[in-house]
């Protein structure tokens, strides 16, 4: 079958225009987040042991976040459990569980309980990022906030980091999907 150059150019322009309307991964996740029908709960996220980071039970959901290029990579949102063993008959064992996200090793004790605002679960990591002031060597901690909603069987979330110094506000989108399903992308 022979095609004229006009037919090839027409087919090529149709393919380009069809791809021009395709949503980016970030737009898909923003739409998933914006169309959430209920707030996420702590039980939507897996339990991990504080000491080793291992899962206490097999996780039902996997969480990913998008990088600046729209590619997804694993992201840790979990109910972290810390045990304090009993020390003799007078000091009983203590178990503490907190919903955490990001690098929580230095901020675990500072995490507040999550709150529900409308259709969104809100959690703050008071030490989400840090930077050292080059003038006086002071370490500044920048909080980050997690906003999570349910959209069907998915949990969509947004991480928001408020502007500091010369940096602008930053938002990252991600989602958690059931292990039994394939990721969206």
**What is the per-residue pLDDT across 79-111, written as a single tens digit (0 to 9) for each?**
999 888 888 788 888 888 999 998 888 888 899
CA nearest 149: which of 38, 61, 64, 27?
A: 38
pLDDT of residue 3: 36
Place of tokens 């970030």: 26
User: What one-character DSSP code corresponds to residue 18?
Assistant: H
pLDDT of residue 2: 44
Q: If you count them, how many residues does the chain have?
A: 185
Is residue 63 within 8 Å of residue 32, measured between CB atoms?
no
Is residue 33 within 8 Å of residue 41, measured between CB atoms?
no
Tokens representing 56 are 């206490």
Q: How confident is the model over 147-158, as pLDDT tens digits?
A: 999 998 999 999
Please give the model's pTM, rounded to 2 decimal places: 0.80
pLDDT of residue 85: 81
Is residue 177 within 8 Å of residue 183, measured between CB atoms?
yes
Place of tokens 């840790």: 76
- Give the residue ranges of the chain where pLDDT is below 50: 1-20
Is residue 178 within 8 Å of residue 51, measured between CB atoms?
no
Tokens representing 150 are 């349910």
Tokens representing 18 are 């069809």
């Amino acid at each position: 079958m022979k095609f004229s150059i006009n037919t090839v150019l027409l087919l090529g322009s149709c393919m380009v225009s069809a791809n021009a309307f395709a949503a980016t991964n970030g737009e898909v996740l923003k739409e998933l987040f914006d169309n959430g029908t209920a707030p996420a709960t702590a039980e939507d996220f897996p339990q991990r042991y504080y000491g080793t980071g291992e899962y206490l039970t097999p996780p039902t959901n996997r969480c990913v976040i998008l990088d600046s290029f729209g590619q997804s990579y694993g992201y840790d949102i979990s109910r972290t459990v810390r045990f304090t063993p009993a020390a003799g008959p007078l000091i009983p064992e203590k178990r503490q569980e907190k919903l955490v996200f990001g690098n929580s090793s230095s901020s675990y004790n500072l995490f507040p309980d999550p709150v529900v605002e409308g259709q969104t679960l809100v959690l703050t990591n008071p030490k989400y990022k840090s930077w050292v002031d080059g003038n006086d060597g002071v370490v500044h901690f920048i909080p980050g906030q997690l906003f999570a909603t349910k959209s069907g069987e998915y949990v969509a979330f947004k991480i928001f980091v408020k502007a500091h110094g010369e940096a602008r506000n930053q938002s990252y989108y991600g989602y958690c999907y059931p292990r039994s399903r394939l990721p969206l992308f």
